Chain A
Amino acid sequence: MARSVTSRRKSINTALAWGVGLIIFFPILWTILTSFKTEGDAIAYPPKFFFFDWTLENYAIVQERSNYMRYLWNSVIIAGGSTLLGVVIAVPAAWSMAFVPSKRTKDILMWMLSTKMLPAVGVLYPIYLMFIQLGLLDTRIGLVIVLMLINLPIIVWMLYTYFKEIPGEILEAARMDGATLKEEILYVLTPMAIPGIASTILLNIILAWNEAFWTLNLTAAKAGPLTAFIASYSSPEGLFYAKLSAASTMAIAPILILGWFSQKQLVRGLTFGAVK
C-alpha cells in the first residue's frame, strides 16, 4: 500500500514488528547460540546470552557420536532424489495439462491433489508391509520413491501453474519451425520455465527434507535422514543441551538458507494456487 505515513508511526511499526519477529525467531537463535556453549553454560542460571566461552566442541562430538555426515548425505539424497525424480515425471504431465487441455484435465488435477490429502497413517501398514516384502525398508531408494509420490501432486500442480503462464503460440511457433515434441520441450519450454522449475524444486526439497512421518517409520540406522538423526536425541543422556543444539543447528541450517530464497513460492505451492 502506497500510503504515506509519519516517521513517528513508522518508528512504532518498526519497533513492534522487530520485537515480534525476534520473539518468533528466538527459539532458533537460542538453539544456535547454545550450540556454541559448553554443557555447563547451556543450563546456567541466569541464562547466558552472548558472554560465554564460545566453543565448537559440540559440533565435533555430535559428528563423532552420531556420524552427522552420513545422515546429512541421506537427507541430501532423499530430498534431492525424490524431487528430481518427481520433476522428471511431472514436466511431461504438466506440459500435457497446460497446453493440451481436455475436458478431464481439471478433474485429473483435482484428483491428483486429493491423493495428497490421504492421511499417511491410514496406509502406514500396507506401505510398511510392501517395504519389507520388497526389501526397501531402511533404504534410501525406498524413501526416494515414497517422498516422490507424496510430493508429486504438488510438483505437477506448481509446474502446471507456471506452464500456464507461457503463451501456447510460442510452442506452436516451435512446431512450425520444425521442432519435434522432444525438441519443443527441451529447447523452448524448459528454458522459458526455468524460474518456475527452479522454485518448484526448491520448495519440494524443503518439504522432503522436513518430512517426518515416513522418514521416521521406514528407516533405521542405515538410511535415516536428519529427521531421524535428531529423533535419536529424544531420550536424554546426562547434560546434552549444547549437543542437541549443535545437532539441530546442523539439521536445519541448509534448509533455512534454501527456505529464505523460496518464500514467494511457498504461498503458491502450499495453497495450490488458491491464494496468489
Chain B
Amino acid sequence: MATKASRSAARLMMAPAVVLLLGWMLVPLTMTLWFSFRNYLPLRGGDQGFAGFDNYVRFVTSSAFWPAVLATLFIVVGVLIITVVLGVLLALLLDQPMWGQGIVRILVIAPFFVMPTVSGLVWKNMFLDSVNGLFAHIWRFFGAQPVEWMIHQPFASIILIVSWQWLPFATLILLTAIQSLDSEQLEAAEMDGAPALKRFWFIIIPHLSRAITVVLLIQTIFLLSIFAEIFVTTAGAFGSKTLTYLIFQRVLESQNVGLGSAGGVYAIILANIVAIFLMRIVGKNLDA
C-alpha cells in the first residue's frame, strides 16, 4: 500500500544494507570456494595450481578430522543438554514469587555479558588450575587428589565454561516464554485435578517447546563456532580441537589455505543445515 514514489524511495534506502551484506556474503564465499580447489600454501610456494577435490578428500581423511568432529559434537551436545535442562528448571524457579526477584535475575544473567576470553581465562586459572584453583582447594579439603582439568578432562572443562556462559541465555528466553503462559490454563488444570508434575509435563513443557527449539537452534549456530574459549584455554591441545579450531589452525597456523578452505566449506554447509530449521521457525513467526 504505497505509491510508486515511496516504493522507489524504499528500494533506494534498502540498497546500502543489501549491497553491503551481499558483498560480505558473496565475495569471501567465492574466494573460499576458489581456494578450496587450489593447492594454496602462502608460505611454501604460494598457489600451486588446481587441486580438484583433493583438499576435500584430505580434510576428511586426515587423522585430525574425526576427532575434531567428535569433539565438536561432544561440546555442542553437552552444552545444549546442560543449558536447556538447567535453563528450564531455573526459569521455573525464577518465575515463582520471591523476594529480590530482580536482583536474582541480574545475578543469573550476568555471565552472558562476560567476554569469552575473560571467562575462558578466569575459569582455567582461578577455578580449574590443579595447584591454585578453587576446585583444587575443594578437592584437597575433602582429601582427594586435585584433577588436572585442562589435561585430563578437557571436554568437561570446556563444556563447563561454555555452559556457564550460555545458561543465562537459555534461562532468559525460557523465562520469557513461561511468563507468556496464561496462568488461567494452569489454574484450569489444577481445578481438573492435575498434580504439579503432570501440569509441568502436559502444560508447561508443550508451551515451552517452541522456545526450547529456538534456544537449541540459536545456540547450535553459536556453539558450532566457539573459538575464543578454546584459544585461551587448551589452544586445541589434549584432544579438545573442534572443527572450527581445526580449520583455524589449517588456515592461519599451518597456512594451508586450500585445505582449510575445504574445511570451511564443510563448516558452512553444516551451519546452513541448522540455519534452515531456524529460518523456518522465524519465518512462521513473521507470518503470524
Contact = CB atoms under 8 A, between A and B. Distances in A.
- Please tell me whether chains A and B touch each other in their complex, using a CB distance cut-off of 8 A: yes
Q: Chain B's interface: helix, strand, loop or mixed, by majority?
A: helix
B156 interface: no
A216 B116 CA distance: 11
B122 A115 contact: no
Interface string A256-276: 101110010011001111111
A125 B257 contact: yes
From A16, A34, A122, A226, residue with most partner B Cβ within 10 Å:
A122
Nearest to B141: A46
A198 interface: no
Contacts of A66: none
A217 B172 CA distance: 31
Contacts of B60: none
Nearest to A160: B286
A274 B17 CA distance: 22
A28 B110 contact: yes
Contact of B172 (A27, A233, A266): A266
Interface in A41-89: 43, 45-47, 89
A248 B124 CA distance: 13
Contacts of B1: 168
Interface residues on A, range: 35 or more
Q: Chain A's interface: helix, strand, loop or mixed, by majority?
A: helix
B247 A124 contact: yes
Interface in A21-50: 21-22, 24-25, 27-28, 30-31, 34, 43, 45-47
Contacts of B123: 27
Contacts of A236: 125
A4 to B, nearest CB: 8
A90 B25 CA distance: 17
B144 interface: no
B125 to A, nearest CB: 6
B121 to A, nearest CB: 6
Interface stretch (B28-36, B51-59, B74-82): B28-36
B32 A126 contact: yes
Contacts of B260: 124-125
B275 A117 contact: yes
A1 B108 contact: no
A20 B252 contact: no
Contacts of B94: 17
A273 B32 contact: no
A215 B218 CA distance: 22
A128 to B, nearest CB: 7
Given A27-B119, A30-B134, A275-B214, 14 more contacts: A18-B100, A24-B110, A34-B126, A102-B10, A113-B279, A118-B29, A118-B271, A124-B264, A125-B260, A128-B251, A227-B228, A231-B121, A241-B125, A270-B173
10 contacts: A3-B187, A24-B108, A24-B168, A27-B127, A121-B264, A126-B35, A152-B21, A216-B117, A230-B232, A275-B210
Interface of B: 1-2, 6-7, 9-11, 13-14, 16-18, 20-21, 24-25, 27-29, 31-32, 35, 90, 93-101, 103-123, 125-127, 132, 134, 137, 140-141, 164, 167-169, 172-173, 176-177, 179-181, 183, 186-187, 210-211, 214, 218, 221, 224-225, 227-228, 231-233, 235, 244, 247-248, 251-252, 257, 260-261, 264-265, 267-268, 270-272, 274-275, 278-279, 281-283, 285-286
What 6 A-B pairs are tightest by C-beta distance, nearest first? A92-B13, A212-B228, A259-B113, A96-B10, A123-B28, A126-B31
